[in-house]
Amino acid sequence: MTNSNPAHDLVRLRTIFGAALTSDVLDHLGYRNQVLKSDVSMISGDGVMMGYAFPVRLEVVDTYPEVPYVGLLAALDAIQKDQVYVAPTARTGKAALWGELLSTACSFKEVAGFLGDGPSRDLARTRAMGFKMFGTGSLPVNINGRYEVVAHNVPGVIDGVKINPGDLIVGDIDGVTIVPVAAIDKVVEMVIEKNSGESNFRKAVREGMPPSEAFAKFGVL
């Protein structure tokens, strides 16, 4: 079962949304702690990653399992188009959480991207395919024998921000903002409105209107 909302055209919204604009709107709605720390950044891909959260639960392990990647493969089989694979690890940093073969599998399924609070690997190949990947950097260490995926499509937390299945994730060069599922419709409405106001502000100041006057008229900055 997908968490995507057919009422929202993500292809169109990706041309409007950004992490900063989304954060501004969430602030206005009273959601003031929905942005991940600044070291979680785009390490592969470009533009805007926008999709519905598909969080997994990982446990730290110290031995190789008899059969590797069981939970990881189950999650890869289950994730769907327009979802974002989310890997919270409480920043334990023991291994790469993502790589090129996982990106290849998800790219084929039109998954929106990957988000983790640790490093990934195979950056050259993943960048070459343009798959969107957010994390804290790179590390060549394999996940096998260090983390085990024990559940998928379950709530998670990164940097104190709760991420539930179906939350809307917006990531770009500025960072990552999480929109709670209950607020998605209102946030979409307000982002479209604020984006229009910002366009009017830009046009006005480029035509010579003083910024203070443009702010008074359009109410955005």
50 vs 193, higher pLDDT: 50
Q: Which of 95, 55, 103 is nearest to 75 (CA)?
A: 55
Which CATH superfamily, name and number, covers 10-218?
Ribonuclease E inhibitor RraA/RraA-like (3.50.30.40)
What tens digit of pLDDT does each residue of 9-31 get? 999 999 999 999 999 999 999 99
Q: Which DSSP string corresponds to 85-150?
A: EEE--TT---S-S--HHHHHHHHHTT--EEEESS-B--HHHHHHHT--EEES-B----STTTEEEE
With bands split at pLDDT 50, 70 and 90, how would you rate the model's confidence at 1?
very low
5, pLDDT greater than 70: no
- CA 69, 56, 120: angle at the middle one, nearest 5? 65
- How far is 183 from 180, CA to CA, in rounded Å? 5
Whole-number pLDDT of residue 129: 96
Q: pTM of the predicted model, to two decimals?
A: 0.91
Whole-number pLDDT of residue 218: 81
DSSP 39: T
What tens digit of pLDDT does each residue of 146-195 get? 999 999 999 999 999 999 999 999 999 999 999 999 999 999 999 998 87
Whole-number pLDDT of residue 46: 96
* CA-to-CA separations, 120 to 125, 126, 201, in angstroms, rounded: 12, 10, 39
Q: Is 53 helix (H, G, I), strand (E, B) or coil?
A: strand
What tens digit of pLDDT does each residue of 71-92 get? 999 999 999 999 999 999 999 9
- How far is 209 from 215, CA to CA, in rounded Å? 10
Whole-number pLDDT of residue 2: 44
